[in-house]
Structure 1
Amino acid sequence: MKHGLTILTLLLLQACSNSITNTDIIQLGTRPYALINKMPAGALKEKLSHCSEGPFYRTDFSIAHRGAPLQYPEHSKESYIAAARMGAGILECDVTFTKDKQLVCRHSQCDLHTTTNILAIPELAAKCSEPFSPADLAKGIPASAKCCTSDISQAEFLTLKAKMDGANNKATNITQYMQGTPPWRTDLYAEYGTVMTHKQSIALFKQLGVKMTPELKSPEVSMPFNGFTQQQYAKKLLDEYSELNVPSERVYPQSFALDDVKYWLNTFPELAANSVYLDGRDTHPDFDAMNANTWQPSMHTLYQQGVRIIAPPIWMLVTVNNDSQIVPSEYAIQAKAAGLNIIAWSLERSGPLENGGGYYYQSISDMINNDGDMLTVVDVLAQQVGVIGIFSDWPATVSYYASCNKMPASL
């Protein structure tokens, strides 16, 4: 009997392992239904409710933002697998580099103190750019630290465990500092997050049968870094797809730096054909999504420079008209008129939406008062703006909408 149980256990483990790579298994969970329940009565709610039994499928319209970080540590193997299970057709590895100039998946070069357990490992914490400093509550001084991938080697990076992004700025010790997860996320699945190199992410994404959208993160160290130039950094990112035989149509390289995008387009025209310009021009104080004169360069100039996909934050694509309806912004209208495809970011990033939705909904805050409203925004982005994809911290939400509306499985 004991031998039989051992065999059964092995068979069950093998079945679970095989299911990870089965692209036919899409499991959305209960969150989309909870969001639909919160929507006001109307045609959209009725339509989405009628799709409750599926069928659901993988679609490139659903793009995993850092994996599935609403519940899993961002850029961890576990987060990526969860995102693929939820129907995301494209997964993102934000790319930065280590002290030995190797590429790894992190949202920021200097976020290890908030996204990993590095501070709990004395020999690695000692290498951080800025060691942990406890809060002095009497003087109003917050706790702080700064740990960068460029502080350690790739081998050292791979000894870390990913955790939910967050820090307790009132902490007086490292244990308290690491306990800063926002209350609308969870630490239930965060104990054993597996960090990944860029190459490891490519191999995993191939195994999962998804497309890939690496983002070249802006260095937080002076470049060149020990002889490593910005162009060498940008080239290394695409070289790793070539080395691992990834077809160009399965790669969507991204950067907020237009110079990176133009370098890719000019140097790797085939592999970079799907390059994405992440639009962060709203950081300019004069930027206005309803005034084309404040966008430099113009949409037409971007197209002439070879850009074919532009990706702004959600709020830049929508506004409220005189009838109190959410409609496309002038930015969205001009981008489409110039021939640009649009990807929006990032759904499920804001936490609860009861108070207007924060940064991602700032142009329509008067129309946002509960989590169900995000599906109304998704509908406007899909049906009126005409975006080709939406980044989400919980891809199931977008996958549900896309499957319900029979959107294409592939871009």
Structure 2
Amino acid sequence: MMRSFIVSGLLLGVATAAAVPRSYGHGHHNHTKLNVQVGDRPYYLVNEMDDGPLKEKLESCSEGPFKTSEFVFAHRGASLQFPEHTLEAYNAARRQGAGVIECDVAFTKDKKLVCRHAQCDLHTTTNVLNQTDLASKCTTPFTPATNGTPAAAKCCTSDFTLDEFKSLCGKMDGFNPNATTVTEYMDGTPYFRTDLYATCGTLMAHEEYIELVNGWDLKFTPELKTPEVEMPFDGYTQEQFAQELIDQYKAAGIHPSRVWPQSFLPADIFYWIDKEPEFGVQAVYLDERVDTPEGYANATASIPELAARGVKILAPAMFALTKVDTEGKIVPSEYAIAAKAEGLDLVAWSFERSGWLNEGGGYYYQYVLDVINNDGDMYTVLDVLAQQVKIKAMFSDWPASVTYYANCFGL
């Protein structure tokens, strides 16, 4: 009960998305001046910080004004509190000052591109299991927990047509593994998020996302999601998937300089470098090799080879870019130093995805665990990433938190 009370207090008053009609730009630019709002969250983080020069600097910026920053990449929209990759999440991200907005790109049964974090996450990010006529089409229908076996389901974008996909409601990502009913299964939102704005998130096709973001004069970072079905899929190859993503920006008249295509698959990055060099020059290689000590060492050693192959931007999880030195200070990691030595840009992910730092920060702060102890240390780490590692941008689940810092330091 106490945890719920505290979380509610932290989240109170930070809904910043403006009420807008459910349209996607209609092919024109919205030149209305945007009043960027950062809400209460950044002030809470600053207040939690240990006393020192960084806290004083951030306190000095408390009254803004705040403006949109391309240092801020909206991770799945504003997914800390809004259902990810929905119109509502994107509206919130824009209002919070994100200069670049992400759409993770998967494909439907009829080979249409849509915004979804994973090809097979509809059972945890939408209400599909409540839709009897559609739930029966899932790759693996819901099975309840029993005899120590957790509840399970698997529903993929490729199980449904675009029209069927668009009929669903987005919800906060999460599930209850102990569920014996669909209703219980869907009730699994992490403790540090909220269902307050998850009444029925509006799902987006990739082309709708392009029209929306273009209408705001913002920039794009689409991630080509690794397929979870065997490729080719009904004759649809990985290369066609990678090409179609780029083709939709061309068809919309989007200049390549406004697009940072991403992938965890090196083959996708190399495809764009070779076949679409104007877009490939900003291709972002999401480097998950760093997740193990051996993989981290191998990834660091391979950076010169990647640079020689034409890769310009690397994006590992943020923990891989910092470490603690012998004096107990947070400093750039070997990976970060190697990337900069090759002239590569770095993008980090994902701010505001860790939960409470007084409980360790988990995956995203694992290399600095011994020297953090409160939520204010989020800014301590961000400052090292921005000022010493000199990252190009930071993905954030709550863009306002990074917008505040970026504006304070002129990023």
- TM-score between the two structures when normalised by the length of structure 1: 0.92
1:220 equivalent in alignment to 2:228: yes
Give the equivalent residue in structure 1 for 2:303.
299
Q: Within 2, Cα distance between the matches of 1:161 and 1:324?
A: 47
Q: How does 1:6-405 map to 2 (within 5 A)?
A: 22-136=32-146, 139-283=147-291, 286-288=294-296, 291=297, 294-295=298-299, 298-405=302-409
Q: CA deviation at 1:59?
A: 0.6
- Structure 1 unaligned spans of 5+: 1-11
SS at match of 2:359: coil
Give the equivalent residue in structure 2 for 1:3.
none
How big is each residue's C-alpha offset from its partner over 1:89-131, in whole Å with a ceiling of 9 and x where there is no partner? Answer: 0000000001111100000000000000000000100000001
Q: CA deviation at 1:284?
A: 5.3
Give the equivalent residue in structure 2 for 1:7.
none
Q: Within 2, Cα distance between the matches of 1:295 and 1:54?
A: 40
Q: Within 2, Cα distance between the matches of 1:269 and 1:16?
A: 35
**Are the aligned partners of 2:300 and 2:338 in contact in 1 as well (CA < 8 Å)?**
no
Q: CA deviation at 1:163?
A: 0.2
Q: Within 2, Cα distance between the matches of 1:113 and 1:124?
A: 11
**Are the aligned partners of 2:109 and 2:158 in contact in 1 as well (CA < 8 Å)?**
yes
- Structure 2 unaligned spans of 5+: 1-17
Corresponding letter in the other structure for 1:177: Y
The percent identity for this pair of structures is 54
Residues matched between the structures, number: 390
Q: CA deviation at 1:273?
A: 2.1
Q: CA deviation at 1:322?
A: 1.1
SS at match of 2:109: coil
**Are the aligned partners of 2:300 and 2:334 in contact in 1 as well (CA < 8 Å)?**
no
SS at match of 1:166: coil
Q: CA deviation at 1:13?
A: 8.2
Q: CA deviation at 1:78?
A: 0.3
Q: Within 2, Cα distance between the matches of 1:266 and 1:37?
A: 48
Q: CA deviation at 1:295?
A: 2.3
Give the equivalent residue in structure 1 for 2:3.
none
Cα distance, 1:369–1:22 mapped onto 2, change above 3 Å = farther
Corresponding letter in the other structure for 1:252: W
Cα distance, 1:274–1:354 mapped onto 2, change above 3 Å = same
**Are the aligned partners of 1:81 and 1:208 in contact in 2 as well (CA < 8 Å)?**
no
Q: CA deviation at 1:271?
A: 2.6
Q: Within 1, Cα distance between the matches of 2:151 and 2:31?
A: 42
How big is each residue's C-alpha offset from its partner over 1:293-340, in whole Å with a ceiling of 9 and x where there is no partner? Answer: x22762111111111111011110000011111000111001000110
Cα distance, 1:101–1:386 mapped onto 2, change above 3 Å = same
**Are the aligned partners of 1:213 and 1:254 in contact in 2 as well (CA < 8 Å)?**
yes
Cα distance, 1:331–1:88 mapped onto 2, change above 3 Å = same
Q: CA deviation at 1:355?
A: 2.0
**Are the aligned partners of 1:310 and 1:340 in contact in 2 as well (CA < 8 Å)?**
yes
Q: Within 2, Cα distance between the matches of 1:261 and 1:23?
A: 36
Cα distance, 1:256–1:297 mapped onto 2, change above 3 Å = farther
**Are the aligned partners of 1:135 and 1:142 in contact in 2 as well (CA < 8 Å)?**
yes
Superposition RMSD on alpha carbons, in Å? 1.9
Corresponding letter in the other structure for 2:66: F
Cα distance, 1:14–1:60 mapped onto 2, change above 3 Å = closer
